[in-house]
Amino acid sequence: MSDALALIAHDLKNALGGLEDELSRLIDDPSPVMAQRAHLHCSELRRQFIQFLTLYGARTEGLTPHCEDESPQALLQALQRVWDARLKVDEQPVVISLVTPSRAPAFWYFDHRLVRLALDAAIHNAVRFARSQVMLDVHEDDGWLIWRVLDDGEGLGSEDPAQDSATGLGSALSEAVAVAHRSQGRTGRIGLKSAPGQGTEFTMALP
């Protein structure tokens, strides 16, 4: 687990530094805006702790998904609302959009909590690299539920300095969540498709 511990230590160190900076500013300027930003950083720390604990459980005991009939489109809509609020507070010029018209099935059998964690991690990575937009999509293809997160950034392999700070924790978590979903001899999987200057597409396929 040393690799995962190093990843989470790196991310948490950065998040704690950001929170400390926001709290220092809040002392000097106790405004609602500064309080919102401090709260945002607290939420980010909580998100990363949950990611780490989930990944730790996957590596040590394995993940056991508790699947129920869920609405894939409703999950994407909920994530869009949460991220719209985060980006507004953080004043980031990135728009989160849903691919329309929706091609999502009405319901699918999956673990809502785990899938939401994985997609949240994927959106977090996409926002870091996006120029102005992140697109969310979900659809069925040959008996698979395909989730997609697309950004309009520089793409993997580019000289974007943001890539130097990427730890891979989100990808490791998403993969653990995907492979925990199994049905009729099939196992979930993730994928990344990218090219310099053409953005990146994250996919997670669940049986």
Task: Supply the pLDDT for residue 170.
Answer: 75
For position 4, what pLDDT does the model report? 55
The number of CA neighbours under 13 Å toward the Cβ of 42 is: 7
User: DSSP class of residue 111?
Assistant: -
Q: For position 2, what pLDDT does the model report?
A: 54
Cα–Cα distance, 151 to 132 (Å, whole number): 8
Chain-centroid distance, C-alpha 33 = 25
- The pLDDT value recorded for residue 25 is 79
Q: How many residues are recorded in the chain?
A: 207
Cα distance between residue 94 and residue 133, in whole Å: 5
**List of domains in the chain:** 2-206 (3.30.565.10)
Walk along the chain (207 residues) in steps of 10 and give the mean pLDDT of each run. 61 74 80 74 74 72 90 96 88 92 93 95 93 96 96 77 56 92 95 89 97
β-pair type (182-183, 189-194): unpaired
Q: What is the predicted pLDDT for the residue at 164?
A: 46
Helix axes 169-180, 112-129, angle to 10 degrees: 150
Question: What pLDDT is recorded for position 7?
Answer: 65
pLDDT at position 117 is 92
